[in-house]
Amino acid sequence: MRLSRIISPLAALLIGGAAFGDTPQRVVSLNLCTDQLAMLVAAPGQLAAVTPLAANPRTSAMADQARDLSVTHGRAEEIYLMQPDLVVAGRFTARATVEMLRRLDIPVAEFAPAYALTDVADRLAQMGAVLGQEARADALIAQFNSGLADVQAETDTRPQAALYYANGYTSGGTSLAGQILRAGGFDNVATDLGYGAIGALPLELLALADPDVVVTGNPYPGASRAEAVMDHPVVTALKRGRVSGTVTDRDWVCGTPYALRAVQAMADLRRAVEAGQ
């Protein structure tokens, strides 16, 4: 199945109508991931404001949709004046703001980060419940589950891959990125080395693992010492003469249906690696 057929129905749901009834009518989001979950699930006019990151195409898979929404910078005073009847936030985001809003009797629904592909359906269901849009969420969940079954790789041969980011960090099998890598048909070097969610991978261990492919972070514009490690001679040598890949933040960082694009990219990369072996 072409990936466009998986993702395009999401846009159709964004413009579908739904009666509010007793559902919250003015919702504000404080987190990039809840921004996108709310944009997917909310009925037209229900979502009042999102974070500035939602309109950044580097970090958000829904930047175009977010540009039509008001922006909040996460200050309690600012949000209070918006008069929301619900705020959605990440579990670890803007703690002082969340606590202040609750003291002001503004309801706040918190969402845990997604650590697995199965969390995508859970987060959509949670957003559907708090927004009173269960039917919309259920439709998205069905599309995501069907799409994941179509794109995830079932293969007897699994090349080894290493995820390598700024400051030498990597992701193991109990992270969303690690599960995307696995669904794309790779074995994860970090998992074999005992990494769970995330941790620093020394260059020496990376070199000794000698993976078939290194998937690096996508550097931001400008110079960064934290990102310079991705151009270290060890990493360059591991990439030389081999297929390599990059992590596109917007499809990898949040547990939304757009993670399917990251799985598809890894499946395409696996096929390229195997073709070159």
CATH number of the domain encompassing residue 222: 3.40.50.1980
What domain range is 21 assigned to?
3-150
With b meaning 16 or more CB within 10 Å and e meaning fewer, what string describes 66-93?
beebeebebebeebbeeebebbbbbeeb
119 in the same domain as 237: no
71 in the same domain as 13: yes
End position of a domain, from candidates 97, 118, 150: 150
Amino acid 123: pLDDT: 98
End position of a domain, from candidates 95, 123, 150: 150
Amino acid 174: pLDDT: 94
pLDDT band of residue 108 (cuts 50, 70, 90) is very high
113 in the same domain as 7: yes
Percent of the chain at pLDDT > 90 equals 72
pLDDT band of residue 11 (cuts 50, 70, 90) is very low
12 in the same domain as 98: yes
User: Is 5's pLDDT higher than 60?
Assistant: no
106 in the same domain as 86: yes
pLDDT in tens, 216-227: 887 776 667 888
**Which carries the bigger pLDDT value, residue 110 or residue 10?**
110
**Residue 227 — left, alpha, or beta (φ > 0 → left; ψ -120 to 50 → alpha)?**
alpha
User: Is 165's pLDDT higher than 50?
Assistant: yes
β-pairing verdict for 169-171 and 198-200: antiparallel
pLDDT in tens, 187-199: 999 999 999 889 9
Amino acid 13: pLDDT: 40
Residues facing 110 on adjacent strands: 89
End position of a domain, from candidates 132, 150, 168: 150
pLDDT band of residue 265 (cuts 50, 70, 90) is very high
How many Å apart are CA 254 and CA 195, to the nearest integer?
Answer: 20
Amino acid 222: pLDDT: 64
pLDDT band of residue 205 (cuts 50, 70, 90) is very high
Amino acid 152: pLDDT: 81
Amino acid 128: pLDDT: 97
How many Å apart are CA 257 and CA 14, to the nearest integer?
Answer: 13
250 in the same domain as 129: no
User: Is 18's pLDDT higher than 50?
Assistant: no
120 in the same domain as 196: no
Q: Indicate the range of 2-11, 22-31, 85-94 predicted with least confidence.
A: 2-11
How many Å apart are CA 272 and CA 99, to the nearest integer?
Answer: 49
| Token couple for 224 | 């960064």
pLDDT in tens, 73-89: 999 999 999 999 999 99
**Residue 51 — left, alpha, or beta (φ > 0 → left; ψ -120 to 50 → alpha)?**
beta
Rounded mean pLDDT, 41-66: 96
User: Is 109's pLDDT higher than 60?
Assistant: yes
**Which carries the bigger pLDDT value, residue 239 or residue 252?**
252
pLDDT band of residue 239 (cuts 50, 70, 90) is confident
